Amino acid sequence: MLDIYFDSAATTKPCQAAVEAAVKAMEEYGNPSSTHFRGLAARRIIENARGIIADALGCGADEFIFTGSGSESNNLAIIGAARARRRRSNVIVSTDSEHPSVEKTLEYLESEGFQVIRLSTKGGKLDINELREALKQKVALVSIMRANNETGALYDIAAVRREIENSGCGALFHCDAVQGFLKTQNRGELTRYCDLVSVSAHKINALKGCGGLYVKKGTRLQPIIWGGGHERGLRSGTENTPAIAAFGAACRDWLSQKDRVQAITALRDYAEQRILKELGDKVAIHRPPECVCAILSLSLAGVKSEVALNYLSGEGICVSAGSACSSHQKENRVLYNFGLKKEEVDSALRISFSHMNTKEEIDLLAEYLKKAVDKLAR
């Protein structure tokens, strides 16, 4: 059986540097908040990783905190900022295609009395006119992702910042960059345009269970986890030293390869061409105007997503039908809001890439997608 992995938007295979860093950090088992030599050794590991990741983001080390996941970072940024600014405004502006860790958090805040305005993202593009209209009032927070985890659509965060500044609404700008961090050509854009940025380790070949949040200096948040006051009082709980070490090592590994984004982009483009050549009108590619390097969304004619997934998995090929965090939901709101028809949503697959993939694997993927349609289409 084959062993081919095209689900890197769900999680990436840990790189060797991350594995080695995590194993080495396990030897420094002291609590990083302890002041004896064991604790200080663990603290040095954490601060070294913090410096590497902050440098990649283009911010100060004192502006970056560690969390337990990208989802936790999104929760802290959105709830923490909304509650801290509630006296100023109870209005939050977001989109209709955010990750569940943002959308569910917004629904929770609506139950607390916040007003949430969701902008259209039809075709994978922000409706700037809707944004401009939404900002004609005091706004507590704008939360818009950089790269969509289902379609790969890149949203124009520079334009969002421009509209916030021009409106005078006074909003903070949070960006869920879990899928976008290190995967665009402009590495410093996130901290240039945003006040809060969520990232996650396991999307860049580190370990699960570790995330981070950029908090621009002077930005006030209310914590959502209370305890010993770790991470500048914003995220209590003993830090996961091995996972943090792996995060820093994976980040350094990404930065050491100057052409990694171009290489992944080339794989995605090759996959699109190869699949279209193999399947012709039996496949529909859903390509937004601007797309992150690692994601390709498509629909197979006449084959339900679950059926195609099971067939490919049985042959040793891993893909997904969309966000792993949305896998238990009956309706895919993101694809519907993108503008797909029901039959396209029902047969949608997400192919996602890493630098570890090869053209030979893509050739096999295209071959087996054709076999799936020929064998399973109804």
State which of 203, 227, 256 marks the end of a domain: 256
For residue 74, give the CATH number of its domain.
3.40.640.10
pLDDT digits (tens, 9 = 90+) for 10-28: 999 999 999 999 999 999 9
Q: What is the mean pLDDT of residues 48-52?
A: 98
- pLDDT classification of 330: cutoffs 50, 70, 90: low
Q: List beta partners, residue 284.
A: 299
The domain that holds 357 is classified in CATH as 3.90.1150.10
Q: Is 325 a catalytic residue?
A: yes
Instruction: Tell me: do 291 and 197 sit in the same domain.
Output: no
Q: Could you read off the pLDDT of 103-146 as tens digits, one per residue?
A: 999 999 999 999 999 999 999 999 999 999 999 999 999 999 99
343 three-class SS: helix
Q: How far apart are CA 176 and CA 165, in angstroms?
A: 20
Place of tokens 């997608």: 369
Give yes or no: residues 228 and 338 share one domain. no
Note whether 91 and 219 are same-domain residues: yes
Q: Are residues 203 and 277 in the same domain?
A: no
pLDDT digits (tens, 9 = 90+) for 96-111: 999 999 999 999 999 9
Span 147-171, mean pLDDT? 98
270 and 219, same domain (yes or no):
no
Could you tell me if 163 and 271 lie in one domain? no
**Mean pLDDT confidence for 291-297:** 98
Cα dihedral 150, 108, 73, 129 in deg (nearest 10):
60
Contact 309, 321 (CB under 8 A): yes
- Asked if residue 47 and residue 191 are part of one domain, the reply reads yes
d(CA 178, CA 196): 12
Residue 325 has pLDDT above 70, yes or no: no
Amino acid at 4: I
pLDDT attached to residue 187: 84
248 and 206 within one domain? yes
258 or 56, greater pLDDT = 56
> Of 222, 256, 290, which closes a domain?
256
**Does residue 323 surpass a pLDDT of 60?**
no
Residue 46 has pLDDT above 70, yes or no: yes
> Is pLDDT at 322 greater than 70 in this prediction?
no
- Residues 52 and 66: their CA atoms lie apart, in Å, by 13
Domain boundary among 221, 256, 291: 256
Residues 239 and 263 in one domain: no
Give the helix ranges, DSSP H, for the chain.
16-26, 37-57, 70-84, 100-111, 128-134, 157-167, 189-193, 241-256, 260-279, 305-315, 333-338, 342-346, 359-376
Number of C-beta neighbours around residue 280 at 10 A: 11
> What are the pLDDT digits (tens) for 234-257?
999 999 999 999 999 999 999 999
What is the pTM assigned to this prediction? 0.96
> What does the pLDDT average to over 34-46?
98
**What is the separation, in whole angstroms, between the first and last Cα of the chain?**
26
State the catalytic residue, choosing from 59, 169, 194, 325.
325
Per the prediction, the chain carries an average pLDDT of: 96
Same domain? For 284 and 304 the reply is yes
Range of the domain at 162: 16-256
Residues 363 and 214 in one domain: no
One domain, residues 31 and 128: yes
Structural domains counted in the chain: 2
Question: pLDDT tens for residues 183-205?
Answer: 998 889 999 999 999 999 999 99
pLDDT in the model for residue 324: 55
